[in-house]
Structure formats: C-alpha cells, structure tokens
Structure 1
Amino acid sequence: MIRIVDKLLLFLYSIIVGALSVFIACIGFKWISIEDLNGIVDNMYRISSIQITVIVIGLLLLLMSLRFFFVSLYRGSAAAPSIDQRTDFGDIRISIDTIENLALKAASKHRGVKDLKARIRATDAGLDIVLRAVVDGESSIPALTEEIQRAVKEHVEDIAGIPVTNVAVFVANVIQSGTIKSRVE
C-alpha cells in the first residue's frame, strides 16, 4: 500500500515540478513579460485566497520532498530481499533467491518436469511458492503436481527451516515428444 502511495506522490510531484520548469523556462525566454510577472506576484500578495493556495502548495511540495529524501535513504541501504529469523545464537538471513533455488531443486528431481520457474512470496504465516512448469505429458498431471508440491514443501522446510504455507504448481504447457516413428513399407 505504501508503494502505491509513494508512486502516486512521485507522479504528482513530477507533474508539479514539470509545470514549474515550463513556467521558469517561459520566464527565461521572455515569453512572460515583466508586467505579467509583476501582476502574478502582486496578486499572490494582495488576494488572500491565492496567498493561502501558494502556501499550501509550497508546504505540500516540501513534505513530498522530505518523504522522497527519507525513502531514498531507507530503501537505498536495503540489501537483497531476505527472510530473517532469530535464534538463540543470533540472526539468520536467507535470501529469497536461495529459497527459489531450493524449490527448483526439489521440483526438478521428478521425472516428466522439463522447464521450471519459481516465484516466492514471504508472508507472516510462512512462504507462498508458485512454480511454473512444462511437463512431458507422459504421466498423470494431477499426480505429478501433487508430488512436486509435497516434495517442494518438505525440502524447503527441512533445509531452510521456514514454514511453507502454500505451493502452487502452474502447468504452462506439455512438450511434444521428439521421437519420430519410422514407417515400414
């Protein structure tokens, strides 16, 4: 949710900075005369509603600038996504890539699985693992996917010590066999 808000704020900030850039460029090219500029500034000081609007816009831009400054400092120091665990002896950090490789290793041991890709999502309850596979079509797909789910869940939990809440297997395709039977005439 916070990323969506940050993206929206960045979008608004970009539009406002872009409009200000065009305004400053117009002043630089003298497309806005000094009398018009004086009139705009005079209205900002004379009309209270314009003055309040300028104050609010200025404060919002300052707050957005501060938000982006702190986000850049916070996210800039972050390492690769990982799963953190605390033990009696200290902290353990296991990268998401490691979990992905463990899942792929367990799934690739089954006959009939040809092309595998994994996506890992860490939740508070445990790991959600989504596998995309291409199978050979020579064995039962429901039985094969059930074996893969069980093997991946057990392997990741045994090796990484992290509970797996869900293993989803998406069979993307069935590969065609490359054998061609010769005709006897």
Structure 2
Amino acid sequence: MKVNLFDRLLLFILSIVSLILGVAVVLVGATVPIGWAQMELTRYPYNVVTMVVGGVTALIAIRFLFFRRRRDPKVDSVMVSGDHGPIRIAYDTIIQLANRRGSQLRGVSSFETVVRQGQGGLILTLRIRVLPDIDIAALAKEAQNAVKSYLEETTHVPVERVLVQVTELGDGNRAIRVWSGSGA
C-alpha cells in the first residue's frame, strides 16, 4: 500500500504530539499536586490551549483510524488490458513462468521467485542456488535479463526491477543436470 507524504507527515505530527502530551502528563502527575493542576488547567489561557491541542490530536487520530480501515486487500494479481476487457494474471502464474525460465539457465541448481507490486510494474526477487565453478555475476545478469524479457513477452506486464539473491551453492556432485549450450 502506498502512503503519501501528507499522511506520513500527519502520522509524524500525531506521534510527536502524543509523545509530548504523554511526557507532560507523566511529569504533571509526578511533580504537581492534583488540586493545583486542576485549578491551573481550568483557567482561561490553559483551557483554550488544552482544548486546541486535544482537538487537533483527536482530528489527526480520527484521520488515521479511517486511513487504516481503507487499506486495499492484499494484492495477489496484476491486471492487463485485453481486447474484450481486463485480464487478471495471478502472481502464482507469474512465479511459475519466472521459475520455469530461470531454471533453464546454465548453472542454476534451484530457482525461486517472489513477486510484489512496484510503482512502475512488478518487482521480482529471484533466489538462486548455483552450481559450483560458475561465474555468479554473469549468471545473475543473465537471469535478470532472461526472466524480465520472458515475462514481458508472455504476459505484457511491465517489470520494474529484478533483484537477484544467490543463496548458496548447489550440489555439484550430481551429473543429472543437462545443460543446453544456448542458455535457454
């Protein structure tokens, strides 16, 4: 969910005002006799200041109560426009496509994808387990390019970024893996 600058500023102000009011109440409660504090707070200037600060704090708090309830449900798909209406592609489908393409790369032992929505498209995080004696930097770049272009060609969904995490080395003793010379 995107939080705009105005909402962040209001949340910051609410936090600061709440902190100041909380500290003030603690200090007043700890150092000032109750009778004197009650008499001082009911005087004209203090009464107005107290009401204004309390009102502003209440309004900001109410704003964030409704702000919290307006949250969008968890996004688990992306919409693409089609000739006869919108097309919804589930993140699970995008994950399967990315994993399929990524696991075809030479030197990859295992491949996992995490998808989230970004500002200008999808943000993919690729978790790759590589085979030993592979140029990891070159493989990571190849994975970024291959997965990004494959997803954009097959789904027509823009991919904003592709982050790569090489988690560990795979089992290099297995001779089961067959590599294709084209890397596809």
CA distance in 1, matches of 2:109, 2:25: 54
Q: Percent identity?
A: 28
| 2:108 pairs with 1:149 | no
Match of 2:52 in 1: 56
Q: Helix, strand or coil for the counterpart of 1:70?
A: helix
Could you tell me which runs of 5 or more consecutive residues in structure 1 were left unpaired when the two chains were aligned.
Answer: 180-185
Deviations 1:103-122 (CA, angstroms, capped at 9, x unpaired): 22321233432243434343
Decide whether the 8 Å contact of 2:108 with 2:128 is kept in 1: yes
TM-score by length of 2: 0.64
Deviations 1:100-158 (CA, angstroms, capped at 9, x unpaired): 34322321233432243434343444333232312012444344334423331233123
Task: Return 55-64 or 92-101, whichever deviates more.
Answer: 92-101
Match of 1:106 in 2: 101
Return the match for 1:78 from 73, 77, 82.
Answer: 73
Return the match for 2:89 from 85, 94, 100.
Answer: 94
| 2:65 pairs with 1:69 | yes
Quick one: structure 1 residues 177 and 152, their matched pair in 2 at CA, closer, same or farther if it must change by over 3 Å? Answer: same
For 2:128, the aligned partner's letter is A
Quick one: structure 1 residues 85 and 142, their matched pair in 2 at CA, closer, same or farther if it must change by over 3 Å? Answer: same
CA distance in 1, matches of 2:131, 2:138: 13
Report the number of matched residues: 169
| 2:39 pairs with 1:42 | yes
Q: Which has the higher contact order (CA 8 A, sep 6+)?
A: 2
Quick one: structure 1 residues 72 and 114, their matched pair in 2 at CA, closer, same or farther if it must change by over 3 Å? Answer: same
More helix by share: 1
Larger Rg: 1
Return the match for 1:131 from 123, 126, 135.
Answer: 126
Decide whether the 8 Å contact of 2:131 with 2:170 is kept in 1: yes
CA distance in 2, matches of 1:21, 1:116: 56
Aligned CA RMSD, in angstroms, stands at 3.8
Could you tell me which runs of 5 or more consecutive residues in structure 2 were left unpaired when the two chains were aligned.
Answer: 175-184
CA distance in 1, matches of 2:81, 2:142: 31
CA distance in 1, matches of 2:73, 2:93: 17
Quick one: structure 1 residues 53 and 115, their matched pair in 2 at CA, closer, same or farther if it must change by over 3 Å? Answer: farther
